[in-house]
Structure 1
Amino acid sequence: MKTKSILALTFLGSTALAASFASAQDSDAEGAADMRASFAEVMATTDYILRIQALDDNGPTLNAVIDYNVEAPVEARRLASTGILRGRSVLVKDNIETSEFPTTAGSLALAENRTGRDAPLIANIREAGGVILGKTNLSEWANIRSNDSTSGWSAVEGLTRNPHAIDRNTCGSSSGSGAAIAAGFAWAAIGTETNGSISCPASINGIVGFKPSVGLVSRTHVVPISSTQDTAGPMAKTVYDAALLLSAMAGEDEADSVTVGVPRVSDYTQGLAGYSLDGVRIGVMRNQIGGNAQVAGVFDAALADLERAGAVLVDIEFDPNPEMWGDSYTVLKYELREEMGRYLRSIPEFEEGDTPRSLADLITFNEANASTEMRWFDQSIFYEAEATTDREAYEAARENAVRIAGEETLDMLFAEHDVAFLVAPTRGPAWVSDLVLGDNFNGSIGFGSPAAIAGYPHLTVPMGAVERLPVGISFFGAKWADHDVLKVGAAYERARTTELPEPSFRRWRPAD
C-alpha cells in the first residue's frame, strides 16, 4: 500500500508542478527556477522512497531505515523555495527526537517513545527548508550496552547490512545513517558520535561523515551517553553537502549550556570550492596507519594526491598516553547513568506499559525481555555504569582524559610540528557481520579517539577501497576549527584520483 500511495501522490504532485512550471515560464524566469527546484526535489524525494521500498524493505533488505514518511514529496514541494536546504530530504538516526516518529534508540524499551517533540537540531533543519524523511537504524543504545555487541544491530530493526557487501558490517553506532546514504535513500543523514560512531560507519560505507566540535550542535532531546563527548553530525555523499547540512543544524540552545557563546560561521560551505592546499602543512600520523598493507597502500595514494595539490606533509610518530582511554571509559559510564536517567524522566508516559525512568529500569526491562533484547549479547556495560557512582573519581577522570586528549595530544601535535591538520586512515575495511561472536575491529588503524574525547572536529572522506570495500581518510583540526577542517576535506576531495567503489547490494566477493 505504501508503494501505491507514493506513486499516486507523486503523479498528482508532478502533474500539478508541471502545470505550475509552464505557467511560471510564461510569467517570469525566477518563478520558473523555483518550479524547477520544486519539481527536482519532489522527484528526488520520490526516488528515495522507492529505493527504500526496493532495497531496504525488500530485495537485499538492508534494514537501514526504521520508518519513513510516504508524504515527504509533498513536504519537498512545499519547502523547495525555503531556506538553505530548499526541500532536501534528510534521514535521522533514531536516537534523535522528531515530532512525527517514535524515538527508540533501537530498543524495545522505547518502542512507544512518542514525545511529539523536535530536537532543536531538527527544528533548525525544518526552519532551513529540510524535509525529515524518516528514522534510521542504529547500534542499540548507540553501542554502549555491551563490549560484545555486533555493530548495526538493534532489537527494533535487526542487523543493518552494508550496501557494498551485504554480509559485511556497517559499523556503529550510526550504522543505518551510513548505509542509507551509501544506498541512495536520502540526500543526507544525521548521525551521532561519542567515539567513532559517525566516522566509522561513514568510512566503512564509503561516504563523508563529520563529527563537529562538541557544542556546535545542540544535544537536547537526543538520547544521551555522555555530555562530555556526545554530538550529532552530518553524513552525506560530499563534503559540500555535509557542510550545508551542518549550516542548518548548528545553533545555540540555552537548554544545552555548552552550545552557548560558541564561535560558529553562518555558512560552512563558504570557501570550500576555492580552498587551496598549496603550502598547507598536514601532519601524517604514521603510528596510526596500522598493519594492513592494503589500507596503507590506499592511504599512500591519498597522501600523494594531497602532495600533488601542494600540501606539505609532515611525518609524525606518536602514541597517546593510554590513561586517556581508561579515564574516558569511566566518564562514559558515570555520565550514561546520570544522563540517561535525566532523559528518561523527561519523556511522556507511554500509553501502554511501564515508562522507564532510569538506567536501572532499562536493565530490568532487558532482563525481563532477554530472549529478544539479549539473544546476541549482554548488557555488561549497563551493569558497570549503574555501579559507577563516585563523583569525585569521575571528575578527576574527566579532567585527566580531556587534558590528555586535547592539550597533551592534539594541541601539542599542532604546535610542536607546526601543522594545521592531522591525517590518518579512518578505519580498515568492513568485517563480516557475526551476531554470535560480535565485532572484529582492527584497533591499530585510526586516530579518532583524541578528537572524540577532547571534543575536537573530525572529518572522514572516502579515499578508495580494499577489494571493493570502502576506506576513508580522516582530517583532524583544532577545537572550533570546523570550517577549516571542512575546507581541507573538500580540497582533498577535488584532488582525489582514486576511483571509488559503487554499492553492489550483494554479498562480498573478491575483485576480478
Structure 2
Amino acid sequence: MGKRSVATLIAAVVAGSLLTGAPGPRAEAAEAGAGGASPPGSPAGPGVDLDTVTIPELQARMADGALTPTALTRAYLRRIKAVDPKINAVLRTDPKALRQAAASDARHRNGTVRGPLDGIPVLLKDNVNTRDLPTTAGSLALKGTPPDSDAELVTRLRHAGAVILGKANLSEWANFRAAKPTSGWSAVGGQTKNPYVLDRNPCGSSAGSGAALAASLAQVAIGTETDGSIVCPAGMNGVVGHKPSLGLVSQDGVVPISAEQDTAGPMARNVVDTALTLSVLSGDTALGGGSALADGASHPGKLRGKRIGLWRLPSLGDEVDAVMTRTAKKLRSAGAKVVEVTPPYQDRLAELEFPALLSEFHRDINAYLATRHGPQNLAELVEFTRTHPGEQTCFAGQELFEQALEAPPTTDPEYRANRAELKDLSRRSIDETMAKHHLDAIASPTNPPAWTTDCARGDNDVIPSSTPAAVAGYPSLSVPAGSVGELPIGLLLMAGDRQDGELLSLGAGVEHRLDAWRAPRYLPTTGTNASH
C-alpha cells in the first residue's frame, strides 16, 4: 500500500492509544518490577515512568512544559549507567546526546517541533552507519574510523529531531559468520544477556536493541532483519518489533547480508511508538502534525470481525502451543475470527534460502567494505578474522564467510532461478493462505522460550515463523503474547506487501487485548526446563 494509506492507519493507531492508554497491566507490572532485582523505570519528570510511557504521552508533557527532552535524555543515560552492567546491551552512548536534546528543548519552547520523535532518545543497532560514532557490525575489523556519512535512516531520524542516544550491541556480522554462532555476542561488545533471565539468550542479531528496550534503556531502538533478527529479539525480550515491507526503509548505509531481504525497522515497548518510528524511518514525517492524529477515527482495540489465521508451529513445544491456545481464546473473545492454517511451501523455502543468501552476502558485503577503512572485501575479512584472537573468544568459526566466498555469483543462472523461485513461493505461501481463508493477517509464535547462552553449543534457534515474510519482503510484527515461566513469548503477525499500516493497526488491537507485557526481573537463572 502507498504512504498515504500507511499514514492514515498509523494515525489511527496513535489516536486509539490516546483514547485507551497503554495496555492494561503496564503500570501494575512496572510496580511489581520494583520488588525484583532491578528498579522500575527511573522517573524522568513528573508522572513519567520509563517502563510504561509512550511517545504521545511524552510529547504531551513536553508540550505543556512538564518535561524537557534534556530531562528525558538524562534519565535514559542514568538508566543505562545503572542497569546496562546487568545485561551489556549498549556498546556506547553518544557524547553529543545532551547537545541534541538541548536543541530539541529550544524547538519545544519555540513551537517549532519537527514531529513525534523530536526529543525522543533512540538507540541504533551497531550495523547502522553514523558519521560521528563507530559502526562496527560487532567486528574488530571495523572498530577504527567511523563511516564517512550517516545511513539514510539516521539522516531521517536527525531531521525528525530524534536524540541519537548511542549504539546497541548485536550479533557480530548479524549472525552471518559462523555455522553455530551465539546470538548477542560480538568481539567488540561481548555477550548481551536476556533481561528476564540473565543466563538466557536475547535472540537474533538485533539482540542488543531488544534487550535494551526490555530494560528501558531507550524509548525506541532500531533493529535490522534478514530473517528473524528484528522479530525474534522482540519476542524473546518481551517487546514489539516491526519488520517493514522490503524497500519501505532505505538500506543505504546499513551493513548488509542480502539486498533481497535486508531491512531496518523500529522496535519499542508498545505498538504506537513502533508505528511513529516507522513513519520517520519511511520518510512519512507528515504524521507529526496534529491533523494526522485528529484523523485517527478508528479504534485499534476493535478486533471484531477481523479474520486471523493461526499457524501453530507445534515444533516449538507444548508450552508455546499453550500460549497460542490462550491467545486465540482472547482474540475470539474480542470478536475476531481465528482459523488454523498451515502456509504451504515451507520445506522448499528452507531448502533454497541459505544458498541464495551466501551468493548475495558475497556481493553485498564486498560493496559495503569498499566504503570503509579496514578489510576491503570478504577474502580480506576472512583473513582478518583468522588472525585476530579477539574475534575468537566465544566461537572461532567463520564457516559462512568461507562458504560465501565459494558460492556462485549472483549472475549465475542457477542462483537467479533459485531466487526467483524463493520470491514466488514465499509470496504465494502468504497470499494463497490469506486469500483461501479471507484473512486480515496470519499469526504464529515468534519464538520459543529463550535458550541458555552457550558459546560452545551456539544457538538453539530453528524458528520457521519469520521466514515467509522475510523472504517475500512482506511486513511482520511481533507483539508480546505471554510467557513460559519467566520467559516471554511473542505473537508474530504477517500480511501482504505494503500492508504495514493495516498490520500495525491490527497489532495495536491485539496488544491491547492480550495485555501481555510485564517488566523483567533480571533473574540470574530459572528453573524452567522449557528450553535447553
TM bracket, shorter-chain basis:
0.7 to 0.9
8 Å CA contact 1:103, 1:111 repeated in 2: yes
Q: TM-score under structure 2 normalisation?
A: 0.82
8 Å CA contact 2:193, 2:200 repeated in 1: yes
Structure-2 change in CA distance of 1:123 and 1:273 (3 Å)? farther
Runs of 4+ in 1 over 4 A off after TM superposition: 30-33, 264-273
CA deviations on 1:452-508 (whole Å, 9 max, x unpaired) are 00100000000111111111001111000000000010001111144x332112312
Deviation, structure 1 residue 297: 1.6
Paired AA for residue 398 in structure 2: Q
Partners of 1:34 and 1:372 in 2: CA distance: 48
**2:184 paired with 1:155:** no
Aligned to 1:277: 303
Partner of 1:221, secondary structure, is coil
Aligned to 2:475: 457
Partners of 1:386 and 1:307 in 2: CA distance: 50
Partners of 1:240 and 1:102 in 2: CA distance: 30
8 Å CA contact 2:69, 2:119 repeated in 1: yes
Paired AA for residue 53 in structure 1: K
Aligned to 2:525: 508
Aligned to 2:25: none
Partner of 2:384, secondary structure, is helix
CA deviations on 1:258-282 (whole Å, 9 max, x unpaired) are xxxxxx9957987496132111111
Q: Superposition pairs for residues 249-260 of structure 1, below 5 Å?
A: 249-251=281-283
Question: Where in structure 2 are there 5+ consecutive unaligned residues?
Answer: 1-43, 46-58
8 Å CA contact 2:129, 2:151 repeated in 1: yes
Aligned to 2:65: 36
Deviation, structure 1 residue 431: 0.7
Give identity over the alignment, percent: 39
8 Å CA contact 1:465, 1:501 repeated in 2: no
CA deviations on 1:55-99 (whole Å, 9 max, x unpaired) are 22x3x2x12111102442332232243322120000000000012
Partner of 2:249, secondary structure, is coil
Partner of 1:322, secondary structure, is helix
Structure-2 change in CA distance of 1:225 and 1:185 (3 Å)? same
Paired AA for residue 149 in structure 1: P
Paired AA for residue 338 in structure 2: L
Partners of 2:513 and 2:229 in 1: CA distance: 27
Q: TM-score under structure 1 normalisation?
A: 0.85
Partners of 1:323 and 1:400 in 2: CA distance: 9
8 Å CA contact 1:424, 1:474 repeated in 2: yes
CA-based RMSD of the aligned residues comes to 2.4
Partners of 1:301 and 1:273 in 2: CA distance: 26
Partners of 1:420 and 1:279 in 2: CA distance: 10
Paired AA for residue 99 in structure 2: V
Aligned to 2:11: none
- The correspondence for 1:358, drawn from 369, 377, 381, is 377
How many residue pairs get aligned? The number is 458
Deviation, structure 1 residue 326: 2.5
Partners of 1:322 and 1:32 in 2: CA distance: 51
8 Å CA contact 1:366, 1:374 repeated in 2: no
8 Å CA contact 2:203, 2:232 repeated in 1: yes
Deviates more, 1:230-239 or 1:431-440: 431-440
Aligned to 1:193: 225
**2:361 paired with 1:336:** yes
8 Å CA contact 1:271, 1:487 repeated in 2: no
8 Å CA contact 2:76, 2:218 repeated in 1: yes
Partners of 2:96 and 2:472 in 1: CA distance: 41
Deviation, structure 1 residue 371: 5.2
Aligned to 1:389: 408
Deviation, structure 1 residue 33: 5.8
CA deviations on 1:126-166 (whole Å, 9 max, x unpaired) are 11111110001000000000121111100001000111111
Partners of 1:166 and 1:405 in 2: CA distance: 36
Partner of 2:309, secondary structure, is strand
Structure-2 change in CA distance of 1:298 and 1:94 (3 Å)? same
Aligned to 2:504: 486
8 Å CA contact 1:145, 1:382 repeated in 2: yes
Partners of 2:422 and 2:338 in 1: CA distance: 28
8 Å CA contact 1:272, 1:486 repeated in 2: no
